[in-house]
Structure 1
Amino acid sequence: MRYARRAVAVLALTVLATTTACSVEKAGDGNGGTDAAAQCGSGKEFLIGMSQANNAEPYRQVMNDDITNAAKDVPGFKVVVSDAAQDNSKQVADVENFISQGINLLIISPNEAKPLTAVVKKAYDQGIPVIVLDRKVEGDAYTAFIGGDNVAIGKAAGEYYAKTLLPQGGKVAEISGLPGSTPAAERAQGFREGIASNPKIEIVATQTAEWLREKGQSVMDAMLKAHPDIDAVYSHNDPMAEGAYLAAKAAGKESAIKFTGIDALPVPSGGIKAVEQGRLQATFQYPTGGREAIDMAKKILVDCQKDVPKTTTLGTTQITKENAAQVYTELGGKQ
């Protein structure tokens, strides 16, 4: 990247393990499973099921767009997207439905890890290659995981607070993502590691807003009533940070409190523009991985590649007002 010197971590491909041949060679059991090794190759039609956790989150809509747009460039690829609407049982049913349709490959961004583990394993055990995107499941019964290092992102945010945003210390409110989702736990953990070097920073309140802007606003409203002397808000994503900003503005405190988020979507309503326009002090890029997922699907289904990386880790970039416009352009930002 041309802005690599500002990157907290460059895009990295980390191979923790490679899939064994059985992950793409297992024959189906007649109930929707596929023999990927027998069916792979160019000039064929492939049905890909994309099980999304919640389309109401802007990040996930951009992820869907990245997947469907990338798939258009691969002859023979057809992607069907389902929306779990933040409901674990619905997402399980969505995956069951994909299995019954005889999909050739499953991409899934789980709503929560534990409730989706069994059905992901079911698809994998039936010979369907499974790409887990963004959020993890338990165990390793899947073909590949693609996502950011949320501990590293949270730590980068914490270090920004410790050294730049609140070098003299201060009181921080944390607005967290959906409990049970791995990014929420990891972003919280990393942030605490990052601020550890500055003992004058105190997290005075932590509450979930489930990744949603409107809930971020209501949560912040309650936090301000309990802690009117908050100095900064660490939000696990940009929409919740924007919601918190609106609550502070309604209370006449938007200029007294500093806000940061995570995602940095290159769209007009995303975090990069919020930084550029002064509502957020910083955001940290969390790539959707959508294009990378389709690239890996092509390797599995079209190129018949048996050994694909078990884990692909996407890097992050710290975005402040100084580099927001540049990064927005370089990420192909929409006007």
Structure 2
Amino acid sequence: MRKNLTKGKVSAVLLTAILATVALTGCGGGAKPAEGNAASPTSPQAAATASAKSDKVTIGYATKSSTSPFWVTLNEGAKKAAQDLGAELIMLGPPKENDITGQLQVIEDLVNRKVNGLIVAATDSVGVAPVVKKARDQKIPVIAVDTSISGAEVDSFVATDNIKAAEQAAEFLGNKLGGKGNIVLLNGAISQGTGKERYEGFKNYLEKNYPNMKIVLAKDCNWESEKALQAMEDALHANPQIDAVFGGWDGALLAAHTALKDASKLDKTLIVGFDAYPQALKFVKEGSFAADVAQAPYKMGYEAVKTAVSAAKGQSIDKRIDTGTLLVKPDNVDQYIKDNGIKLP
């Protein structure tokens, strides 16, 4: 059941939440104006100042995480957009990436602050719907970022086309394996649009185009690397031959890499990652990852704030913004690393 936040009350979740306020439309200093030069409350100068303050846009952003490489980059893009556009960004998040109760409290807090626009990176695509509806009932435009929202209308959705991205990975593995092989699929969370779409995109593409490729294990790991490691170890014990592993995020694939290495099967199994973590890119460069699906998290965060600011000002916005993907392989990994200024571990 959802908990309501009363005005002025700060929940325990928010005390441990991510809080980053970016105020960039003129900082109020403590210095007094020079005597004789101060604008009177009714002067044109004072009126212009008051108007500028009233025009300032405040965007609330309910993020998922401040620690995973993907979300760190996305959040940086969001902050840069706020800086460029002269907006105030209030960024809050639950203690854990899959904490729906914490995120509901975060979103309610942002709504109660009467922000001009709201960005939501849903930890549960269905679970956030009630508070999203509440925001829109109060005429606050809502932008979904990274993860789709089900059961509530949003003004725009800024994200990767996760179905197409997963299809890229499936096609790559199908070609590499000649249309035959045993696959392990380590998913994120089926309760989130991102996890559901990556799972279904990969699975459905294989079934349609490579019917002789068999998924011997499909495990929902709830975005937890420890669960992915256990699932991979279980798969290795149950199946004498595993030809490839794909997953919903690089945390799972890095765990699979560890399990395969410990089982002395790393050189016999293709790994295709998702998210282009620096460590995963290092493995692509070294050859122990066959490929990795790279998203554009910085662009995603930037476009989400840009779209929210436009919506808050009553300007027209696109209903769907696809920020694109790239399949990073050994033949283009160096260029990708260079183009994106990535430092490998």
TM-score normalised by structure 2 residue count: 0.78
The number of residues matched between the two structures is: 291
The C-alpha deviation readout for 1:17-75, integer Å capped at 9, x for no partner, is xxxxxxxxxxxxxx99xxxxxxxx97643332211224453322222222123322222
CA contact (8 A) 1:53 1:111 kept: yes
- Alignment match, 2:268: 256
- Alignment match, 2:334: 325
What is the identity, as a one-letter code, of the residue corresponding to 2:215? Answer: I
C-alpha separation between the residues in 2 aligned to 1:171 and 1:274? 22
Matched, 1:203 2:222: no
C-alpha separation between the residues in 2 aligned to 1:105 and 1:51? 11
The C-alpha deviation readout for 1:89-130, integer Å capped at 9, x for no partner, is 111111111111222221110011111111111111111121
Matched, 1:65 2:76: yes
What is the identity, as a one-letter code, of the residue corresponding to 1:130? Answer: V
C-alpha separation between the residues in 2 aligned to 1:168 and 1:299? 47
CA contact (8 A) 1:207 1:219 kept: yes
Q: Which SS does the other structure have where 2:71 is aligned?
A: helix
**How many Å apart are 1:140 and its aligned residue?**
4.8
TM-score normalised by structure 1 residue count: 0.80
CA contact (8 A) 1:113 1:180 kept: yes
- Greater Cα offset, 76-85 or 150-159: 76-85
C-alpha separation between the residues in 1 aligned to 2:112 and 2:99? 20
Q: 1:79 to 1:277 in 2, by over 3 A?
A: farther
Structure with larger RCO (C-alpha < 8 A, sep 6+): 1
What is the identity, as a one-letter code, of the residue corresponding to 2:203? Answer: R
Q: 1:226 to 1:159 in 2, by over 3 A?
A: same
- Alignment match, 2:320: 311
**How many Å apart are 1:154 and its aligned residue?**
1.2
- Greater Cα offset, 314-323 or 57-66: 57-66
**How many Å apart are 1:328 and its aligned residue?**
1.9
The C-alpha deviation readout for 1:284-307, integer Å capped at 9, x for no partner, is 122221011122133234xx3432
- Greater Cα offset, 273-282 or 254-263: 273-282
- Greater Cα offset, 107-116 or 49-58: 49-58
The C-alpha deviation readout for 1:228-282, integer Å capped at 9, x for no partner, is 31111111111210111011111221111111111124xx33x333312323111
Structure 2 residue ranges without an equivalent (≥5)? 1-6, 9-50
The C-alpha deviation readout for 1:111-160, integer Å capped at 9, x for no partner, is 11111111111111111121100111114522111111111111111111
C-alpha separation between the residues in 2 aligned to 1:55 and 1:243? 21
- Alignment match, 2:306: 295
Matched, 1:95 2:104: no
- Alignment match, 2:167: 155
Residue from 101, 116, 125 that aligns with 2:137: 125
- Greater Cα offset, 88-97 or 137-146: 137-146
- Alignment match, 2:63: 52
Max radius of gyration: which structure?
2
C-alpha separation between the residues in 2 aligned to 1:238 and 1:321? 17
Q: Which SS does the other structure have where 2:230 is aligned?
A: helix
- Alignment match, 2:205: 194
CA contact (8 A) 2:57 2:309 kept: no
Q: Which SS does the other structure have where 2:289 is aligned?
A: coil
Indicate the RMSD between aligned Cα atoms, in angstroms: 2.2
C-alpha separation between the residues in 1 aligned to 2:331 and 2:149? 37
CA contact (8 A) 1:47 1:78 kept: yes
Q: 1:140 to 1:100 in 2, by over 3 A?
A: closer
Q: Which SS does the other structure have where 1:102 is aligned?
A: coil
CA contact (8 A) 2:118 2:308 kept: no
Structure 1 residue ranges without an equivalent (≥5)? 1-30, 33-40
Residue from 150, 153, 159 that aligns with 1:138: 150
Matched, 1:107 2:119: yes
CA contact (8 A) 1:45 1:77 kept: yes
- Greater Cα offset, 42-51 or 309-318: 42-51
C-alpha separation between the residues in 1 aligned to 2:286 and 2:61? 34
**How many Å apart are 1:313 and its aligned residue?**
1.7
C-alpha separation between the residues in 2 aligned to 1:134 and 1:222? 30
Give me the identity figure in percent.
27
CA contact (8 A) 2:92 2:106 kept: no
Q: 1:91 to 1:77 in 2, by over 3 A?
A: same
**How many Å apart are 1:317 and its aligned residue?**
1.2
Matched, 1:166 2:177: yes
